[in-house]
Each structure stands twice: as C-alpha cells, then as structure tokens.
Amino acid sequence: MTEVSVTKDAIPPGADDLVVLKNVNKHFGALHVLQDIDLTITRGEVVVVIGPSGSGKSTLCRAINRLETVESGDISIDGKPLPQEGKELARLRADVGMVFQSFNLFAHKTVLENVMLGQIKVRKTSKAEAETKARGLLDRVGVASQADKYPAQLSGGQQQRVAIARALAMDPKVMLFDEPTSALDPEMINEVLEVMQQLARDGMTMVVVTHEMGFARSAANRVVFMADGRIVEEAVPDQFFSNPRSDRAKDFLSKIL
Ligand code: ADP
Ligand code: MG
C-alpha cells in the first residue's frame, strides 16, 4: 500500500484579513481627519464604528472604497492594495458594497432596474440573469412587491432596503454602512436593522457606522470607537458598553445611552 502524503498549502498569516488599513492618514486642509489608522477586518466579522459627529467615521468608510484618497498608509481589500485609479480600482471597488445615510437610488429607474444596473454594467451579467438575481434580493430584503415602482413611491425604510439589495447584487466581499438609519423615521429603523442583522447572521463581512447601540450590542463582533480622527478604543460590545476604558468613550456613552 502506498502512503499518501497530503500536503496542504500553508495558510499565509492573515489570510482571513479582508480589509486592512495600515497607518492611514488624511487631512482636509489643516484638519487631520484620519490619524494613523490601523484597522484589520476579518472575513465574516461585523465591526460597528461609533464616535462623535466629525470624528472621521464617514471619511474612514469612504477611504475604504476610495471615494476619498488618503495621503499616506496602505489600504487593501482581500490581499490586494487599493490602487489610486483605473480599471483595477473599479474592480476592487465593486467588491465593497456601500449603503449611505441618504438612499442614493437612481430616481428615474424602477426599483428592479436599480438592482439590475450594476450587475449589467459592472459585472457584465446578462439581463435575464440580472433580473432573476434582483428579484431574489428584493425578496430577501422584503420589498419584492415594490419591484416596478420608482424610488419616490417607496417609504424611506423600503428605499434603504432596496439600496442594500442593490449593493448585494454586486456580490461584495464587504458591506459598508454609513449611518443607514439616521435619515429614517423611527418606525422604519427596525425594518432596516433587521435586514442588516440577517446579513450579519448570514456571514457577511460588515463595517457599520451607527448610533443604534442595540444593533451594536447584538450584531457586532467588535466596536471601534473614534474621536478626532483616531481609533481611541476597540473592544467586544459587552466590554465596550459596560466598561469603556477611555475618558472619551465614557463621555460619549454617557451622552447617548
Ligand atoms: P463623521 O462621519 O464621524 O461625522 P466625517 O468623516 O464626515 O465625520 O468628517 C470628519 C471631519 O472632516 C469633519 O470635521 C468634517 O467637517 C470634515 N470633512 C469631511 N469631509 C470634508 C470635505 N470634503 N472637505 C473638508 N472637510 C471635510
Ligand atoms: Mg458621518
């Protein structure tokens, strides 16, 4: 009998690191909006970013998909450094889904078309395949019956769920949410958070800027607290909320909880 030796490729260190920021810096004029940011997001991880207004949370999100350039430091997505521009950037950017506070749907396209467009234009999917996938995703976020309407005919919560479906249609490796419920009427916040909760349970890698502390407690693997352009503190939610270490975090929590 021959012995079969199974040699597995060694897993390179950090192979499960999906989004890596190393020593990232950015200014807006004199304002040092991102200061020495080091952040690694593992595949499947849900990271909630919180912090006072103006602390750099949105800029951080926008830097991760190069809606903002940075002056120094490295950002990579799934092992590939983010280039400054060009085709490779467009491809890598498509791996990063983004959902903004304002819903940003195409007003003159139907809900269904909104979810089909990127697939056809960027992923070069056939129309039929894009439609099937779009309908499936609209169903997944609970708005299948709205497919033929225009965004303005939907409630804010429905529009935001369409925005999530549209981002998911690109099969992103990571989803960024920048205060996705801040512009919603209170009664619509939960329907959006529930979709995000389900996405987290399904194993999506997520970076979520939010003031919804209930979501942070229940869905996050890690809370990142920012102030003045720096990551001041990182911890698992329980630890962060019950025992924040920094004065900045204590002060922030005392104001919002
Ligand atoms: P947050 O999302 O935490 O509220 P932002 O990342 O939006 O913070 O902004 C951080 C700081 O950078 C704020 O002081 C903001 O006014 C400033 N800022 C954001 N975008 C720009 C810009 N395009 N030009 C100049 N200043 C900006
Ligand atoms: Mg912001």
Tell me the C-alpha distance between 32 and 53, whole Å.
Answer: 15
Question: Which of the four pLDDT bands, split at 50, 70 and 90, describes residue 225?
Answer: very high
Distance 50 CA to ligand 2 centre (A): 10
Most confident of 61-70, 80-89, 100-109, 135-144: 135-144
| Residue ID of nearest Cα to ligand 1 atom 21 | 28
- Percentage of the chain exceeding pLDDT 70: 94
- ipTM of the predicted structure? 0.98
C-beta of residue 235 within 8 angstroms of C-beta of residue 223 = yes
Tell me the C-alpha distance between 55 and 45, whole Å.
Answer: 23
* Residues near 243 by beta carbon (within 8 Å), at least 6 away in sequence: none
Structure tokens at 104: 């940003």
One-letter amino acid at 149 equals K
Q: Report pLDDT for 208.
A: 98
C-beta of residue 236 within 8 angstroms of C-beta of residue 222 = yes
Average pLDDT over residues 156-174: 97
In the chain, which residue ranges form alpha helices assigned H by DSSP? 57-64, 87-94, 111-121, 127-140, 156-168, 186-201, 213-219, 237-242, 247-256
Total residue length of the chain: 257
Residue to mutate (ligand 1; options 50, 58, 225, 228; most atoms within 8 A of CB): 58
Average pLDDT over residues 240-252: 96
Q: Of the bound ligands, which one is closest to the alpha carbon of residue 183?
A: 2
| Residue 68 in this model has a pLDDT that exceeds 90 | yes
Q: Of the bound ligands, which one is closest to the alpha carbon of residue 26?
A: 1
- What does pTM read for this prediction? 0.93
> Which residue is associated with the tokens 């503190």?
233
Q: Report pLDDT for 11.
A: 54
> Which residue is associated with the tokens 């430091």?
73
Distance 229 CA to ligand 1 centre (A): 10
One-letter amino acid at 21 equals L
Q: Report pLDDT for 57.
A: 98
- The bridge status of strand 31-42 relative to strand 72-77 is unpaired
- The bridge status of strand 230-235 relative to strand 222-227 is antiparallel
* Residues near 188 by beta carbon (within 8 Å), at least 6 away in sequence: 155, 156, 157, 160, 181
| Residue ID of nearest Cα to ligand 1 atom 23 | 28
